[in-house]
Amino acid sequence: MKKGYTTGTCAAIASKAAVRMLISGMIPESEGVVTPSGETVTALLIDAHFDGDIAVCAVQKYAGDDPDITDGLLIYSRVRLCGKDIRIDGGKGVGRVTKPGLEQPVGEAAINSVPRRMITEAVYDVMDEYGTESGAEIVISVPGGDKAALKTFNPRLGIEGGISILGTTGIVEPMSTKALIDTISVELSFKKANGHTFALVTPGNYGRDYIMQNIGLDIDAAVKCGNFIGEAIDLAADKGFAGILLIGHAGKLIKLAAGIMNTHSRIADGRAEVLCANAALEGVPKDKLERIMESVTTDDAVSVLKECGALEKVMKRIAARIDHYIGKRCAGRIEHAFIVFSNVYGELCRGGSESVIKETINEGLSYRNGNGRRGNADRGGA
């Protein structure tokens, strides 16, 4: 599978090329940088030109075999040599931070620290090559970045007006697992920095809908963790949350009763097996067990349990197993609770700490009503 390169790498290459243009007076066809991963990336330059004492250059974002919303966008750098320091800002299409809790301070362009370092090092590299000493004003812009950002997490995180310039290794790996887990981490950090002491987490949109319709919280109240339930628990504990409340559809959370913490179907399934085994322990007849094993969906299996009057006691047994495995993952570092629901039958079971359920919901309602606590960053702290 083909690797790609990050928006941060694109910005560094474009900035290095623009400085080369200003020093040499020539327009190169391509430019390259060594990424933090140690790999060298060389890219063709697009729309390279002079604008008075400013050099302008763009590099097209390439995501390899893991395309995302930024794939194909042009990352521009406008550079003017002046002063003694390297100053980096964002232009049109690059987001600006409006809320605390993110890597960059409020008011700064959403250009993260690794891309900023890459840009600075790339600029100094080419200056050293020519024996030039100077500062520089660098503005990174992304035509169409404002529209692309609407399809990202940026609006929810308080990054307005465009995409973020990101990347820790400079390389986009074909496997997107790390990017997904990093997104969960960013969202949890954002919640913590803004005063949340309990983490409300759900695997996906079913959970969000349930939270809105049955609990009355806003759509942004919960952090989506996808299939990475175990990682979400770990991250919430690492970030110092007092408790985590998992709310999810039975099709995902029932897998936890078998100790499955990554609920993607390619990793493991076991839904029918969990339901069937626990139903058997509660004395459900063999013909009903066979129907459970043949069920296409969790709701189909639940309908069999409801039909034979065993739903409540089977779900109570399953809740105990879910509680066991979540508790094992938490390892005493964080309190936990969970609610398992069905789109057809509503809440099926809950478990863990009732106080975590109560506190998490109350905290969410408080924020919805504008009475939430403000994070340290809002108070001028670190």
DSSP H or E stretch at residue 325: helix 311-330
Is the pLDDT at 357 greater than 80? The verdict is yes
pLDDT value, residue 320:
98
Going through 85-161 in order, the beta strands assigned E by DSSP cover: 86-90, 93-94, 96-97, 136-141, 159-160
Percent of the chain past pLDDT 70, that is, above it, reads: 95
Question: Could you give the angle at the alpha carbon of 284 between the alpha carbons of 282 and 286, nearest 5°?
Answer: 135
Q: How many CB atoms lie within 10 A of CB 322?
A: 26
Q: Tell me the three state secondary structure of residue 260.
A: coil
Is the pLDDT at 380 greater than 60? The verdict is no
In the beta sheet, which residues pair with residue 338? Answer: 246, 351
Structure tokens at 245: 């409340």
In angstroms, the Cα distances linking 131 to 120, 126, 127, 134, 144 are 16, 9, 6, 10, 37
Percent of the chain past pLDDT 90, that is, above it, reads: 80
- Interval 246-275 mean pLDDT: 93
pLDDT value, residue 1:
65
The answer to whether the beta carbons of residues 168 and 107 sit under 8 Å apart is no
pLDDT tier for residue 229 given thresholds of 50, 70 and 90? very high
End-to-end CA distance of the chain: give it in Å, rounded.
41
Residue type present at position 187? E
Name the pTM for this structure.
0.69
pLDDT value, residue 180:
84
Q: What is the mean pLDDT of the chain?
A: 93
Q: What is the pLDDT of residues 176-209, one digit of tens each?
A: 678 789 989 999 999 999 999 999 999 988 899 9
pLDDT value, residue 382:
24
The answer to whether the beta carbons of residues 364 and 371 sit under 8 Å apart is no
Q: What distance in Å separates the CA atoms of residue 45 and residue 219, rounded to the nearest whole number?
A: 42
Taking only Cα atoms into account, the Rg of the chain, rounded to an integer number of angstroms, comes to 25
Q: Where in the chain is the domain with CATH 3.30.2110.10?
A: 4-172
Of 75-79, 105-109, 172-176, 221-225, give the lowest mean pLDDT range: 172-176
Taking the domain 4-172, which CATH number applies? 3.30.2110.10
Strands 46-51 and 54-60, how do they pair? antiparallel
Is the pLDDT at 279 greater than 90? The verdict is yes
Q: What is the pLDDT of residues 152-164, one digit of tens each?
A: 889 878 899 999 9
The answer to whether the beta carbons of residues 344 and 311 sit under 8 Å apart is no
- Interval 49-62 mean pLDDT: 98
Three-state SS for 140-195 is: EECCCHHHHHCCCCHHHHCEECEECECCCCCEECCCCHHHHHHHHHHHHHHHHHCC
pLDDT tier for residue 371 given thresholds of 50, 70 and 90? low
- Interval 255-271 mean pLDDT: 91
Q: What distance in Å separates the CA atoms of residue 141 and residue 284, rounded to the nearest whole number?
A: 63
Strands 162-163 and 93-94, how do they pair? parallel
Listed residue (308, 249, 247, 248) closest to 276, CA to CA: 308
Name the range with the highest mean pLDDT among 299-303, 348-352, 378-382.
348-352
Listed residue (61, 57, 13, 63) closest to 34, CA to CA: 13
pLDDT value, residue 377:
30
Q: What distance in Å separates the CA atoms of residue 200 and residue 247, rounded to the nearest whole number?
A: 8
Listed residue (203, 306, 189, 329) closest to 257, CA to CA: 329
In angstroms, the Cα distances linking 42 to 5, 9, 15, 32, 259 are 10, 10, 13, 4, 45
pLDDT value, residue 378:
32
